[in-house]
Amino acid sequence: MDLPKIFAAFKSASAGIVFFLGTALILTGCSQPSTLQEIRDEGVLHVITRTAPSIYVESEDGPTGYDYELAKLFAEDLGVKLRVRVADSNTEILSVLEKNYAHFGMLGLSRQPHTANQYRTVATGITAQSILVYNRDVERPESLQDLIGKTVHVVSDSNHEHRLNEARQENAELEWEVHPGLDAAGVLSRVESGEFPYAMVSSNELDLNHVFYPMVKEAFTVGEPGELAWFFPSAQDDSLAKAARQFLESLETNGTLAQISERFYGHLDRLNYVGARTFMHHVENRLPKYESLFRDYARDFNMDWRLLAAIGYQESHWRPNAVSPTGVRGLMMLTRNTASHIGINNRLDAEESIQGGAKYFRIVHEKIPERIPEPDRTWFALASYNVGFGHLEDARRLTEGAGRDPDRWMDVKEFLPLLAEKEWYTKTRFGYARGHEPVIYVQNIRRYYDVLARLNQPGIPATEAEEQIVQMEESRAPEVPSGELQTDGKLRAGLPAELGMIPPTL
């Protein structure tokens, strides 16, 4: 476009007319950059979210969360920085998106018909549905009809309001109360205390929080499952949403999406009520005696003290004089040979045991191939700590032989139980092993670690931490039909198909 010649042709016209026509020509002849191009030009992807274990949390190790990890990878793929703003609620997030003040929002919601014209959505790989929960001291409702005359409590701007409105067509007297100042954890804590006898929460948030609230029980689901999604302002063009959709589809194709899903949801389970009370009792009464030792020796051997403490709890429930029928003993339950190898003289001395456990874990961790990224490398190290490196390698060879990835814990944990079956262990180098045990072992330690990390999050009041209770799984191995992989492992969060073949203990 030769703008000088065009302006020269109109030099006899008034300055205002020339300016108007020139501007019009520029606007009609030169297209504006797309949203995606604007982001690349600025070098920043602006995202708004809220704090929730299922979306985004600040930890001692920095921000994390399922949606956050995906957004971080997306920003890296675009070659820009990720800038996250944390809102107080979904209401605030939606308000920001409505004004087009962020590129997209992470709300933990699925697409709803009443928002279809307001936002573009991109599914993130997790499906969830509304779950009616109740305090275990009240009568269990069997259906919404049983809640007539009672109040259901929900968070604001959630999928639950839409589903309750649909349900009201058949149950006109159904009542609920919306709590703008609460999140899912806040609602669950009030169900735990009995303040809210009944409430509705998303299944994925229940999965991630349920271990802290053993007085909360599940009654039934409401409505159909929906895919959780990122929300993009309608004021944008579709370039960013399209790029996000293509990126997440690529993560699903190469297995990264399934691996991130396993990291956040793959070790969750419905665990027993007694174990919950027992663990919290030990956190309050036993852990303080040894916490400084866990911190000191974890620092000496470059590991997270909460992970070291979680291993200690799984091994002995933090009992320094623990002794097993097989001869392992002490707080970290070291064998005589292991203790001798790492220079531990008295296995029943708590300090020596914790020092020995940290040193041995570091040795085991360093044997795991460096090419395996975290956190999988740590899960492999934990399995090796429990069952031995040789048996772990046998399971990894079986995994590779079946065409799966031997460097991914989510794949290898399916094959470890086969080491207890003759038709499989006779084909391995190191033979028989109780292969279920390391799978349960890793799962339990991951849950203990989760709880210790949550209880030590910056900004959580001590009184609130004391009320957070964890349920832990009883150490019993599931039965797996001979020659078959267990395939019914159901995760409430609705993980992708790649996670279908997970043993029911996971």
Dihedral angle sign, alpha carbons of residues 334, 337, 342, 348: positive
Q: Tokens for 55? A: 């979306």
Q: Which of 192, 205, 262, 315 is catalytic?
A: 315
In total, the chain counts a number of residues equal to: 506
Dihedral angle sign, alpha carbons of residues 243, 244, 249, 253: positive
Whether 203 contacts 129, CB under 8 Å: yes
Whether 438 contacts 387, CB under 8 Å: yes
Strand partners, 57: 64
315 is catalytic: yes
Residue indicated by tokens 């009464």: 285
d(CA 117, CA 272): 44
d(CA 410, CA 501): 9
CA distances from residue 391 to 268, 292, 368, 434, 492 in whole angstroms, order as listed: 25, 33, 13, 10, 31
DSSP secondary structure string for all residues of 435-455: THHHHHHHHHHHHHHHHHHHH
Calculated CA dihedral for residues 69, 75, 81, 83, nearest 10 degrees: -60
**Taking Cα atoms as reference points, which of 482, 477, 503 lies closest to residue 422?**
482
179-196 CB burial, b ≥16 within 10 A, e <16: beebbbbebbbbbbeeeb
**Active site residue ranges:** 315
